Amino acid sequence: MTKERGRDQFKKFKIILNVLSLLYRIFPKKIRIWMFNIHCGLKGKVGMAFRYAILKTIIKSIGDNVSIHPYVTLKGIANLDLGNNVSIHSYGYIDATGGIFIGDDVSLGNGVSIISFEHNFDDLDVPIKDQGHTDKPVIIENNVYTGSKVTILGGVTIGTGSIIGANAVVAKSIPEYSIAVGV
C-alpha cells in the first residue's frame, strides 16, 4: 500500500480551502496578517491548511499544494509568488520586500533564509541602517531543493533542477541542474 502524497490530499480538500479563503477575505488585510502570525506555530495538516487559506488572501500569488510548516516568518508578502507543490519547512525566514518568485515543485529545508534586498552603504557620513535599501528580486525556478539553513541573498536566480547543500550561502546565481554547496 502506497502512502498518499500531499498533492493528492490537497485535491480532496481544495474546495474547503477555497471556501475558508473566501471567509478570511471578510477581514481587513492587517487582521489576516495577524491571523497568519497567530497560526504560525499550529502543527500538522490543520495548521498548514489555515496558513495556506490565509496566505491565499494576502500574497501576490499562490499555487496549489503549498505547505508552510510551523514557525515560518514571512515579510513583504505582497511581493511573494509561490508556484504549485512548494514546501517551506519550519523556521524559514523569507523577506520578499524586493520580490521573490518561487516556481513549481520547490522544497526549502528547515531554517532557510531568503532576503530580496540589500542595504545601501555608499555614504560614509550616514549610518548604514539609515541609508535605505535596494530591491534585489530572487527567482527560484522549478524543481529546486535546498538543504537546511541555506541563505539566499538578493539578486540571485537558482536554475531549474538545482540542489543547494545545507548551510550554503547563495550570493551568485546558480545555473540549471547544478549542485551548489558552501559559500
- pLDDT per residue as tens digits for the range 132-165: 999 999 999 999 999 999 999 999 999 999 999 9
- Residue (of 41, 87, 42) closest to 64 by Cα position: 87
Instruction: Specify whether the CB–CB gap between 142 and 164 falls below 8 A.
Output: no
Q: How confident is the model at residue 1 (pLDDT cuts 50, 70, 90)?
A: low
Chain center to CA of 20: 21
Query: In sequence order, which residues have a C-beta less than 8 Å from that of residue 148 and are 6 or more positions away?
Result: 89, 109, 110, 111, 112, 166, 167
Rounded to two decimals, the pTM is: 0.89
174, β-bridge pairs? 158
